[in-house]
Amino acid sequence: MSVFAIVILLVSAVLHTSWNLLIKQSEDKYIVTWWMVTFGGLFAIIALLFTGLPPRDMWTFAMLSVCVEVAYFITLSYAYHDNDFSLIYPVARGTAPAFLALWSFLFLHEKLTMGGSIGLALIIGGLVIIGVNTLTQAHVTRVHFKGVAVAVFIALLISIYSAIDGAAVQNGYALPYVMGMFALVPVMTTPFVFRQYPWAQIRNVLINQPIRVPLAGVLGVLAYLMAVYAYSIAPLSYAGAVREVSVVFGAVAGWWLLKERMGGIRIVGALVIFAGIVIIAMFG
């Protein structure tokens, strides 16, 4: 796997952690998520004026991906209502590479090198270390088990839409594909939000957070654009796993900004993930 692809994925991970933090720090998470995807959609529509629409045969992939993405955004907002950022984020992002590696093998017929397999196993292992440590620190109760179940479901959704998008951009056109997909997401999410909340409440969220919400939308689009571009130039199994270094960034951000616990074991997990990325870069 090329160093260029890894750098793109690391930048994507930083942006992804950033917009997740912006949502976590908001009170009305469903509404903030809707505003986020709406501003992301507006940004994507403007971008499409310059990139043009993706090829016709990619729209089926885009529609399928959008449906899964909508389920992901709604579930993520629900999860952040009742659980720590440092619980949901590591478990959801950490479990996704295992699912994605399976889909890549079954449907995209990817074959991993021995070194790549070791690197992938180290990344998944490091993510598990961080996730298990989070659960231990949280003194798991029934509520936390429910949070873990929701987080694993989020991971399944992440792996499904990542596999769809990875298959879609195998022949290129990552930029118009991602912009077309994000332009469609608000169409799918708007009915859900407007059934749940009055317009006055929706409007007030934007008035009270005029910078945070649009910023989250732009960061979300840019983060995923970078990830999908990496999917088009690198094996999906590797790229999907490297992207989840955002778990490390998320744990650090939760400790630094949200005053959540970090701990030495998470640092060990981060080092294991880093070792996996290096091995993939060298032998993947």
- Per-residue pLDDT at 10 exceeds 60: yes
pLDDT tens-digit readout, 152-177: 899 999 999 999 999 999 878 899 99
| More confident site: 40 or 88 | 40
CA distance 210 to 235: 39
Q: What is the mean pLDDT of residues 238-246?
A: 86
Q: What is the mean pLDDT of residues 111-124?
A: 88
Residue range(s) defining the domain that contains residue 218: 3-283
Which pLDDT score is estimated for 243?
A: 86
- Percent of the chain past pLDDT 90, that is, above it, reads 34
| More confident site: 71 or 172 | 71
pLDDT tens-digit readout, 40-59: 999 999 999 999 999 988 99
Spatial neighbors of 164 by CB under 8 A, at least 6 apart, are 61, 64, 65, 68
Is residue 90 a contact partner of residue 251, using CB atoms and an 8 Å limit? yes
- Look at the chain and count its residues: 284
pLDDT tens-digit readout, 121-148: 998 888 888 777 766 665 555 556 777 7
Query: What separation, in Å, do the N-terminal and C-terminal C-alpha atoms of the chain show?
Result: 5
- Per-residue pLDDT at 96 exceeds 70: yes
- Per-residue pLDDT at 110 exceeds 90: no
For tokens 């955004």, name the residue.
73
Quote the pTM value. Answer: 0.83
Structure tokens at 258: 């949200």
The dihedrals phi and psi of 260, each to the nearest 5 degrees, come to -90, 155
- Per-residue pLDDT at 183 exceeds 90: yes
Which pLDDT score is estimated for 80?
A: 66
Which pLDDT score is estimated for 267?
A: 78
Residue 258 banded pLDDT, cuts 50, 70, 90: low
CA distances from 21 to 118, 157, 191, 211, 258 (A): 31, 20, 25, 14, 9
CA angle 160, 81, 222 (to 5 degrees): 50
Which pLDDT score is estimated for 136?
A: 67
Angular region, 84: left φ>0, alpha ψ -120 to 50, beta rest? beta
CA distances from 145 to 91, 135, 197, 254 (A): 11, 9, 29, 20
Which pLDDT score is estimated for 171?
A: 79
What is the number of domains present in the chain?
1
The closest alpha carbon to 182, from 265, 69, 94, belongs to: 69
CA distance 91 to 128: 8
- Per-residue pLDDT at 264 exceeds 90: no
Which pLDDT score is estimated for 4?
A: 92
pLDDT tens-digit readout, 202-215: 999 899 888 888 99
For tokens 């006055």, name the residue.
200
Q: What is the mean pLDDT of residues 1-9?
A: 90
| More confident site: 196 or 131 | 196
Which pLDDT score is estimated for 261?
A: 66
Which pLDDT score is estimated for 31?
A: 87
Residue 74: other Cβ atoms inside 10 A:
18
